[in-house]
Amino acid sequence: MLDKSFYTRDAIIVAKELLGKKICYNGREAIIIETEAYTISDPGSHAYKKKTKRNAVMYDEGGVLYIYLCYGMHELMNIVTDKEGVPSAVLIRAVEPVKGIKGKTNGPGLVTKALGITRKHNGMSLTSNELWIEKGIKPEEIIQTTRIGLSQGEGLPYRFYIKDNPLVSKK
């Protein structure tokens, strides 16, 4: 299990270093293959303008989940990063199934569905015995590019994925 200090760093660093790590929950395991970083000065971030009830967990110390509903139907999983009071997070965009997962996992809504993670997990610690991230594989090459599906901040190069993995989400 990764310790708290892994998460209490800049979102861009954590987004890159999450690639190849294994996420484990309720008998399900998957390798993280695609991420997107959201920082305090990022117009694409939910916490860009102000703290709200929805984004409040982003202001917590890194190492907890930020789960929100997108388009009224998809629950998306983010890993909160950085120090308490610095709202930043990493969206898990795609994973490669290892154990106990059926269905597609090449999109952020599909990831949470496959892992069985919902908004009830919002604020849950990643240093618990229920849900955690651990060492997995070392990616041979990481691609850094712009993010997908944003109206603001789309041009920022904060999306990362493992090169040539066929399960990376499509632009």
Distance CA 137, CA 162 (A): 11
pLDDT digits (tens, 9 = 90+) for 82-99: 999 999 999 999 999 999
For residue 6, pLDDT over 90 is answered with yes
Helix (H, G, I), strand (E, B) or coil at 7: helix
Distance CA 129, CA 58 (A): 22
**What total of structural domains would you count in the chain?**
1
Q: Which residues contact 5 (CB under 8 A, 6 or more apart)?
A: none
**Is the distance from CB of 81 to CB of 59 less than 8 angstroms?**
no
pLDDT digits (tens, 9 = 90+) for 136-168: 999 999 999 998 877 777 789 999 999 999 999
Q: Does residue 167 lie within any of the structural domains? A: no
Q: Which domain CATH number covers 9?
A: 3.10.300.10
Query: What domain range includes position 104?
Result: 4-162
For residue 43, the model assigns a pLDDT of 79
